[in-house]
Every structure is written in C-alpha cells, then in structure tokens.
Amino acid sequence: DNGGYLQVFHTPGVAQQIEGVEFLNMGQLGRKNRFSMQLLYNGNVEGTSLSRNSFRQSNMRCISVDGTANATIVGNVGAEISGHCYYFSHESADNMVVGNLASNMDNRVNWHNRINGYDDYDADGFAIWSPGNHFIGNVSIQSSCLVCPCLLPCLRGNDLTIIFVMF
C-alpha cells in the first residue's frame, strides 16, 4: 500500500514531458497527495505532456490534476487501480485529455483507510470536478461511475465513454 509517487509541484511556466513510462505499484493508499502521478498547483504549464504511460496495480489513482492548466494528457492506460484512475479537481482548467483508458478500478479504499474529504471509496475511471477541461475519446471500463453526474451537462469535448462489464 506504500509505493512511490511522482509529484510535479508548483512549476508554473515550466513544460514537463513524461512519456512512455510504466508505473507499477505506485501511490500510497490513504495518504493525501501521494498519488501515482500528480500535477499539483502548477498554474499554466502550456507544453506539458503526460502521454503513453501505463499505470498498473496502483495503490492510489493514476493521474491527479490539481490547480494546473493547459497540460495535455494523451494515450495513457490505467488498470487495477485503487481509487479514481484520472482525477481533475475544481482548480484544474483548460487541460486537453484525449484517448485515455481506465480499467478495473477496485474498492480497496474504504472508510478505514480513506483520506478525509476525498471520495475515492467510489472509484471512478474519470473523476471530473472541473468541467473547464477538454475530454475527447476517453474510455472507462468497469468502474463505479465515470464522472460526477452533476457536471455531465457542462463537460466540454466530444465524448466520454463508459463500458460496464458484468460477470
């Protein structure tokens, strides 16, 4: 439950390129801001790209975006994830989120190990608290929900797809 984590913290105006990396057993279950990969309070990071990365058996989320704008998140894959796979806080805006896959989110997050104020115990493929981002061609398979239902009418982008597989 205590893997490593990658946090890009407070780097306004600095483009980050994280591409083609496999993140295995990353993140720390029940610990705030200890997600597999997190963009945290970076402001405008135009030119930043998180692309073609894979997240497997994550202990807490795949990619979390908080207080960050103008990043491009393309072609990433998350499978066997605790908590939300992709998370966009109400402070994220103008990020381009294209062709990402979230699969098999589990519910290891429960009332005993959850982070106070966080809702990862209902694991979503894409937890979207800010409709000010652009979502195109993303797919979530076998999660509790795709997005916060109250934001569905406000989302910008072509589509979000959810597939439920019943066993």
pLDDT confidence tier of residue 160, bands split at 50, 70 and 90: low
pLDDT confidence tier of residue 118, bands split at 50, 70 and 90: confident
- With CA atoms as reference, report the closest residue to 37 among 158, 47, 52: 52
What is the tens place of the pLDDT at every residue in 13-56?
999 999 999 999 999 998 889 999 999 999 999 999 999 999 99
The overall average pLDDT reported for the chain is 85
Rg of the chain, C-alpha, whole Å: 14
DSSP per position, the chain: -B---EEEES-TT---EEES-EEES-SBTT-TT--SEEEEEEEE-TT-EEES-EEEEESS-SEEEEEEES-EEES-EEEEEES-SEEE-TT-BS-EEES-EEEEEE----TTTPPTT--TTS-BSEEES-TTSEEESEEEES-SBSS-GGGGGG-BSS-EEEE----
Count, residues in the chain: 167
Query: What pTM was computed for the model?
Result: 0.84
Strands 101-106 and 77-82: parallel
